[in-house]
Each structure stands twice: as structure tokens, then as C-alpha cells.
Chains A and B, each alone.
Chain A
Amino acid sequence: MVPFKILVLVCLAYVIFLFLVAFVVENRARQGRARWLRAPIVYTLSLSIYCTAWTFYGAVGYAARSGLEFLTIYLGPTLVFVGWWWVLRKLVRIGKAQRVTSIADLISSRYGKSNLLGVIVTLLAVAGTTPYIALQLQSISLSFAVFAAETRPGWALPGRDATALWVAGGLVIFTILFGTRNLDANEQHHGIVTAIAVEAVVKLVALLAVGIFVVWVLADGPRGVFDLIEATDVAEWRLQPGRWAGLTFLSAAAILCLPRMFQVMVVENADERHLATASWAFPLYLALMSLFVVPIAVVGLLTMPEGSNPDLFVLTLPLSAGRGDLAMLAFLGGFSSATSMVIVAAIALATMVSNHIVVPLWLRMARVAGEVAPAAGYAGDVRRLVLRARRASIAGVLALGYAYFHFTGGSSALAAIGLIAFVGVAQALPALIGGIFWRGASRNGAAVGLCLGFGIWIYALFLPSFGPDGVIPADVMINGPFGIGWLRPQALFGSEGMDPLLHALFWSLLLNSGAFCLVSIFSFPTPLERLQGAQFVNVFDRAGGTRGWAHGVAEAEDLLVMAQRILGGDAAQGFFHAEAAAQGKAGFLPDTTPEFIEALERRLSASVGAATAHAMVGQIVGGSMISVEDLMAVANETAQIMEYSSRLEAKSEELIRTARQLREANEKLTKLSVQKDAFLSQISHELRTPMTSIRAFSEILRDGADLPLADRHKYAGIIQEEAIRLTRLLDDLLDLSVLENGQVTLHSTSANLHDLIDSALRSAGATAAGRDFAILRDPASEHVGLTTDTDRLTQVFINLVSNARKYCDAAHPELRIRVTERGADVEVDFIDNGSGIGKENQALIFEKFARLTDQTRAGGAGLGLAICREVMSKLGGTIAYLPGQGGAAFRVRLPRRRILPRGGSVAPGAHGAGQGPVAAQG
């Protein structure tokens, strides 16, 4: 006999073990050393969350009551997996191509990224899953109670509710810890999937062990069991044809539509080929899980005392035979079944709730407040919002499950709730299957069908499940609402005498798919729907991407600002950089081609779902951008896509890229030539202005022998001042030319970055016009040791700071200095809150002679940034303009340790050279 105390200890140890598995795997996956974890067998095992505690314990009870009928729950999924080539392969491919995050996302995305559908499916999923979670909590508390009943008195036992509460709390922690680490659904939950695979093994081993024990120890082997079956009152197979076929169909529908199954089957799928393995391995798993169910039920019925709960035979049989260890194993199997289901279901539901309800609501509210304007910048971090929403949703889903358990708990037939939930989620089937096989399926059809099916399910099955007089008054059940006979919940349209479950399944799905088809046929879809429909239905012969955003007029910079808020700064900048590089451009801002916007939207939808991503991109790109011409392109249906020779396409892509590079180079050359002319005038002006004063006053001094002494002194002073100004200008020019020709000697010294910034601020503060300027720094991050030419680096900093002081036009100017370490490099960002630099100038500011503003400021030949760029390249680093920061922003990046090469001659210009765009007219 197992004391309750030990049971609790083993249970805790098992949970800690699962935590460790998830933790270790997660870490290894992060280091990229977990390829074996994504083996097909892990995928197959993770699918086993289909077998919940309901099937683990309940199947035996079901068999004890209705014989072989329990098998239908496994036969449906078997057919779906054996027939993977039809549906699953397509689902998985679409899931990958569209970066689908949940079944609600898939349906919403298919029907023109409609958030309405996302909300409906989400509600459906919540309604269908909550009772199911309650069921799992109930099974755990029931199985605890079995052990508790066997234990000696004197041990303070937790109540039924308390057990469920503890379990629910633990599950919340586990799920949040490992389920909300990353936002992007395509970065899958390695830790959780592996933990679930482990649990899958435990429950299979447990059930097989109990089965083998029952067959070979309690009975006399297979033959004996065979005879025993013949001897009991389940011997006759009282097959009900309707239920048999209906339940097989229902379970097949459910495995496609259950949110948690969709999560592991589609979202967590790492490789389509794993599906090929699962096509036989998962049916095998199911067959093994159900192999011993009837023997256990029969032996239980024969040997256990009258009135004992057949749902718990898996536990009570070994216990009554004195095999506590086996019962313990069975208990862990049941525990595994319940927890793994709850964890995945909670993740799947949380993704839906956050993507389809919380974020759209927030977006709408923010739009009302006018806050979504692209200029809002870094501050409003959508990413954090989504993660928080997801965590709260996980807790919410489990709380809901617990509440359901608390208020309805104790109903003895576990299987009933399970099947009711199946019928609920199966309402998504017409929209799902229609969506991936029928281009004519429309959003309105899906919405009407879903609502109708959902409504009938609630009215005819879900509410009556609370018992007579539970929610629906008994009078209504018998006579119909307001005495209307054909609206009786369990005899709709006069269909009396049907099995209630079958009745609800039949009417809800019939009316659901009927309305879906009819409305689809008679409604006209929007262009976006038609595009998405074509993409989904023809997922296998897609040659190119869609042309969803035909006439992108968005500013890449605005898109970057938005992407940063969802993906985080680094990821967004990396994505934009890569896209720009793919177009053959440098920097962070690619051309906003339709292809780019499409790619961006897909990247975002992996985080917040298709509908939300589309809405957010739409806010910036402006409206639905699909024109009739774009539709025409798609409407040529099958033929035209296949015509493309992929080689030709690749070649033309290459040509486009080259052409773009050439165009860009040409533009730059033209601009540079203009700039060069302008510079010659400018440099002429800069040189001649001081010379004018020098000449004029020297002539005055020469001719005016009668000048008073004071005036002479004054005029000589002016001559000297202007001569110094000339020298400084020449120094800058020389400095730049020396840097450019590589004849510079750099002196490596070590210093603390913090001190360098300090000294740069001091120097720049001394030279700039004295106005209030807030400097925002994070001193803690600045303490980075550097080995480089610190004087030159400080020169660059001084330049950037004085630029900001000079050109920042905000009412309360601020300069933010941000230091980030990146591997062997360090990045220093200087970000002010002025109006920044227009896109057309961003490419030019680092060129010599460019000036930030042309009209108003007549001063400065604009050598400062050009010198900075040269200095940084000599130091082995870079300086770049960082768009989308809500002001002018420069990023300096350099290696922390650099052995500097020695150049030829010594650099001139130690005296404050290159400080800003030549501080000429001070």
C-alpha cells in the first residue's frame, strides 16, 4: 500500500523532473544544440495530448458501460492521420507558409484576415476547452482521493477543491515559464514539447503495464481474457449504428479542430516530413493505448465490488491486488495525461485570446487616443503588451477551468463532458475544411455558419448538460420555449427520440455547413479574401508570393518604427537590414515594394496573428491596397502561375536587383556631383570670407598712418582672429584627406568608455552655444573597457554631441546616449529628440561637404561627419544613421579591443580639429 505522503512526494519529484527536462531542453535549443529534439518521434509523442485523462481513466469506464463504442474516439483520429495526404499535409503547409499561430488565426487569415472570425473561433475554443480543463482537474483530484481513501487516518488530506487548486496553480506557473518565453510562434516551445513527449511515454508505459498485469497476472493470458469477455454483460456488442458512425466522424473532426491539437500538429511542427512518420506512428500509439482497455474493464467489473467507479479501474485494480507500485505508475500516467493537455490547451487559448481579443482591443483604444501614429516611437512596446496579455490569458483560462470544476464538479460520467466539448469545437470544421479546399468560401458564410452552429451547440447540448432544471428550465426541455414544440432543445424540428449528443451534432453541423455554403455562394468576397483564398487553396502550386500590397506608398521608416514595437528593436532592425540587403541596398530602409510589405506582414503575424498584423501594416500603408488589376493577376487561376520558369524568374530578380543598385549608385553620383560643385563654392566662400577681412584691415593699417593706437590694436586683432579661422579650416581639410589616404598614425590606449563620453560632453559643452540641453545617460552600462585610439574616438563623440546641440530643434532638447555591448563590439547610440534627418538626406550626410540644413545656416562646410566616418573606419568600426528613433540618431559601433595598424605620416590637427561641421562663423 502506498502511503499518501509518498504519493505526494513522488508526484512532486515527477513535476520537478518535468521542469528540469523543459529547462534543459530550452537552454540547449537556444544554443542550437537540440536537433535531435525535433525528431519525428518527438513530434508523434507530442500529438499524444489527444489522449487526456478522460481517455486514460475514462476509456475503461466507457468500455465498462458501452463496450466497444469507446474505440470510436480513437478510430476517427486514426483515419485522419492515415489520410494525412488529404488534409493534414495541406494544413501544415499552410501553417508554415502563412505563419499561422492558432486555428483562430488560420480561419481569420483565410477569410481576408477578418478579426471577427478570429473572435468567434476564439470564443468557441474557450467555451469548448474550459469544461475539458475542468475535466482534467477533476480526474486528478479523483485519483488523489482514491489514494487518500486507502491511507490511514491521521493524515490531513487536502479537500477535493484544494487539490484541484494546487494543481491548477502549478500548471499556470509551468505554462507561463515555458510557454511565453518568446513571442514568435515560429520559434517553437521546445521545452514544453519535449516535456510532453516524456509524459506521453509515461502514460503509454503506465497503461500498458496495468494492462499486462491485468491480462497475465489477474487473468490467464489473452485466451483467458477472451473467455472472460464472453462471460460478462458487455459480451454482446450492442452496436448503435448512428452513434458508431457519428462518434467516429466527431472524433475525426475534433482532432482537426481542437485548439491544442492544432497547436502541436501545425504550429509546433518543425518539418513536414515528420507528418509522414506520425501518419503511422500516432495511430499505433492510439492502438496501444486502447489495446488493454476492454480487458481492464472486464476484469474490473468481475473482481471489483459492486458499485465501484469503473472510471478508476486503472487505479483501483492494482491497488486492490496489493500492487501499490503499479498503481503509483498508473497514477503518474493519469497525471501526465491531464497536465500535458492542460498546458498545451492553455498556450493555444492564450495565443488566441491575446492575438484576437486583447491586442485588437488595445489597437482600437490606442487609435482612438491617437497614439498609434508612427511617430510614437520606441515607447509603446506592443511586444511587452502581447506577452503580458498571453500570461494573463493563461492564468485566466486555468482560472476559468477551475471555476467550472468548482461549480459543476462531481458529475460522475467523465466521458460526457469530453464528447460535449468535441461537438463544440467541431463547429469550426466547415469553415476550416471549406477554407482550404474551396476558393468560393467567403467570410460571411463562415461567420454565419460558425455562429449558427455555436448557438445550436449551446442551446441543444451545452446548457442541457447542466442537468434538468440546471440552466434551462425543465418545462422548456419538455414543451419547448414558449410552448413551441419544434424548438425543444433535444428534439429540434420534431426530431424526437434521437440520442441527445447525436441530435446536437447532426443539427449543429448540418445547419452550420448549410449556412456556410449558401451564404458563401450568394455573397461576394472582398478582394483580400479572394487573394487569401487562392493562397490557401493553391498552397502547393504557389510559384511566387501574393501581391497583397500592390501600391505600397508607406515610408519604410514608419514601418520600422512599428515593427520595432512588436518584434523588439534588434529583431526589427535585423529584419529590415536583411531585406534591404536582399534588395541590394545598404542601411536599414529597404524600398517598400509589395514583396517587402508582404514579408513584413507575415513576420509580424507570427507574433500577433494575421488579422492584427494586417491591420497594423494597413494603418501605415493606408487602407486595403488591392486593386482590380491585382485580382486579375490572381484570377487567371491555375494556368498562369505554372507557366513561369523558375530560372527565368530568378534571373529577372537578379536583374532587378542589379538595376536597383545601379540606379542607386547613379543617384548618388548625381547628387555627389551637385554636392561637389556646391562644396567648391562653399569652400571658396569659407576661405575668402576671412581673407576679405584680413585684406581690408591690412590695407587700412597700411594706408592709415594717422590711426589711433587703440584702433590699430583692434584691427590687428581682427586680422589675427581671421587668420586662425583660416588655419582651422585648412586643418580640417588636411585631417580628412590624411584620414582618407590612410596615412594616419593611431595610438592605442585603454580607457573606460564612460570617461570618454564624459570628456566629450565637457569639450562639446564648452564650444557650443549655451542653451539648456538635457543629457540622458545610463552610467551603469557605460563602464566598458576599450582599447583603441581614444583621442580619435572622443573626437567622434564630440562631433556627434555638438551636432545634436547645434541642430536639435525640439522645444526641450534632449540627447540620449545609449551603450550596448554586442559580443566583441560595443555600440554607442546618440539620439536626440529633434525632427531628425529627412530620408533623402540620410544617404548623404556622411559624404564630405554635405550640410545638414542648406537654406538657413550659412555656416559650416560639413566636414565633421565625414571625418567621423573616416575615423571610425580606421578604428575598425562603423558609424551609421539610425532611422526611426523619433529624432536624429547616430550609432557608433566599434570593437572593444583593437590592435591598430600603424600608418605612415603623423596626423595633423590636434587642436580641436573636426569639431562639428566646422565651427566657422562663431
Chain B
Amino acid sequence: MARGAQFLERQTYRRRRMIDGARLLPVIGAIAFVMPILWRTDTTPGASTAHGGLYLFAIWFGLILAAFALSRRLRNVAGDGRVED
């Protein structure tokens, strides 16, 4: 909105970085979930199911925790909409 304002209030600034985080999170998640594809090369056989499963669930719960933290801060922003960056 206000075009001239280059420096924002601290709170507004934080909120915008939270939104950036929310946008970044699925990208990080996607990369992490696709990562196991790289593990398999011609020389090494497939990784073990048990370890792979542990890895995936670790990423999974990590994402859930991050989303939880972000959602607590973004709840109210979502309600009234009108957020620009």
C-alpha cells in the first residue's frame, strides 16, 4: 500500500517474514521428500526400508512442527486477508 514507507514496524516486518516462511515450507518439504531418489546410484543398491521410513517420518514430523509454529502466528492474518508483501 503506502509506497514511500521503506521501513516497516517491527511487528509487521516479522509477520511478513512468517508469510515467507509459510511459502517456503512446502518447497523444503518437497525437496526433502524427493531426496531418497538421489540415494540410489548404480553402485549402491537401494537403501533399507527401515531407515528410509525413519528418515521420512522424521521429515514429516519436522514439517508438522514447523507448520504448527507458523500457523499460530498466521491464524489471524488469514482471517482478515488483505496481506501484501
Contact = CB atoms under 8 A, between A and B. Distances in A.
Contacts of B82: 540-541
Given A79-B29, A237-B46, A279-B71, A273 B79 contact: yes
A294 interface: yes
Contact of B47 (A78, A226, A237, A540): A237
Nearest to B51: A237
B21 to A, nearest CB: 9
Nearest to B75: A276
B64 to A, nearest CB: 5
Nearest to A242: B37
B75 A239 contact: no
Given A245-B34, A287-B64, A541-B84, A273 B46 contact: no
Contacts of A68: 49, 52-53, 56
A280 B48 contact: no
A506 B49 CA distance: 27
Interface residues of B, number: 45
B79 A236 contact: no
A230 B19 CA distance: 42
What is the interface residue range for chain A against chain B?
Answer: 35 or more
A283 B64 contact: yes
Interface in A80-94: 80-86, 89, 93
A272 B26 contact: no
Most buried by B among A275, A277, A279: A279
Interface in B36-82: 36-37, 39-40, 45-50, 52-53, 56-57, 60-61, 63-68, 70-72, 74-76, 78-79, 81-82
Nearest to A75: B33
B48 A236 contact: yes
Contacts of A276: 71-72, 74-75, 78
A78 B60 contact: yes
Contacts of A294: 49, 53
A283 B37 CA distance: 22
A656 interface: no
B36 A244 contact: yes
A235 interface: yes
B50 A279 contact: no
B83 interface: yes
A48 B84 CA distance: 32
Contacts of A235: 48-50
A852 interface: no
**Most chain A CB inside 10 Å of its own CB: which residue of B1, B47, B50, B81:** B50
A540 B56 contact: no
A312 to B, nearest CB: 21
Nearest to A642: B1
Given A236-B48, A239-B36, A272 B79 contact: yes
A244 B40 CA distance: 13
A248 B31 CA distance: 12
Interface in A235-279: 235-239, 241, 244-245, 248, 271-273, 275-277, 279
A291 interface: yes
Contacts of A284: 64
Given A85-B23, A540-B82, A280 B64 contact: yes
Given A279-B71, A283-B63, A82 B47 contact: no
A287 B19 CA distance: 24
B35 to A, nearest CB: 10
Given A84-B22, A273-B79, A280-B64, A236 B33 contact: no
Contacts of A86: 23, 26
A79 B30 CA distance: 7
A85 B23 CA distance: 6
A71 interface: yes
A80 B29 CA distance: 10
Nearest to B50: A229
A547 B68 CA distance: 40
Interface string B1-45: 100000000000000000100110111011001101101100001
Contacts of A71: 53, 56
A206 B81 CA distance: 39
A744 B3 CA distance: 68
A85 B81 CA distance: 11
A239 B71 contact: no
Contacts of A81: 67
Contacts of A234: 49
Contact of A272 (B52, B67, B72, B78): B78
Contacts of B40: 239, 241
Contact of A85 (B19, B46, B64, B66): B19
Contacts of A80: 26
Interface string A65-81: 00110010001001111
B81 A93 contact: yes
Contacts of B19: 85
A893 to B, nearest CB: 40
Given A83-B25, A287-B57, A237 B75 contact: no
Interface in A216-239: 226, 229-230, 234-239
A275 B75 CA distance: 8
B22 to A, nearest CB: 4
Contacts of B72: 276
Contact of B36 (A237, A277, A287): A237
B26 A83 contact: yes
A280 B68 contact: yes
Contact of A244 (B22, B34, B63, B67): B34
A68 B49 CA distance: 7
Given A235-B48, A236-B45, A287-B57, A280 B71 contact: yes
A747 B69 CA distance: 71
A280 B25 CA distance: 12
Contact of A237 (B1, B48, B67): B48
Contacts of B61: 287
Nearest to B23: A85
A82 B29 contact: yes
A291 B81 CA distance: 35
Contacts of B33: 75, 79, 248
Contacts of B50: 226, 229-230, 235
Contact of B83 (A83, A287, A540): A540
A230 B36 contact: no
A25 B46 CA distance: 51
25 contacts: A75-B60, A79-B30, A82-B25, A82-B26, A82-B63, A83-B29, A85-B22, A86-B23, A86-B26, A93-B81, A236-B45, A237-B36, A237-B46, A239-B40, A241-B37, A248-B34, A273-B75, A275-B78, A276-B74, A276-B78, A277-B75, A283-B63, A287-B61, A294-B49, A540-B81
In order of increasing CB-CB distance, the 7 nearest A-B pairs are: A83-B26, A280-B67, A85-B22, A280-B68, A276-B71, A241-B37, A229-B50
Given A83-B29, A541-B82, 8 more contacts: A67-B49, A79-B29, A79-B30, A236-B48, A236-B49, A239-B47, A272-B79, A280-B71
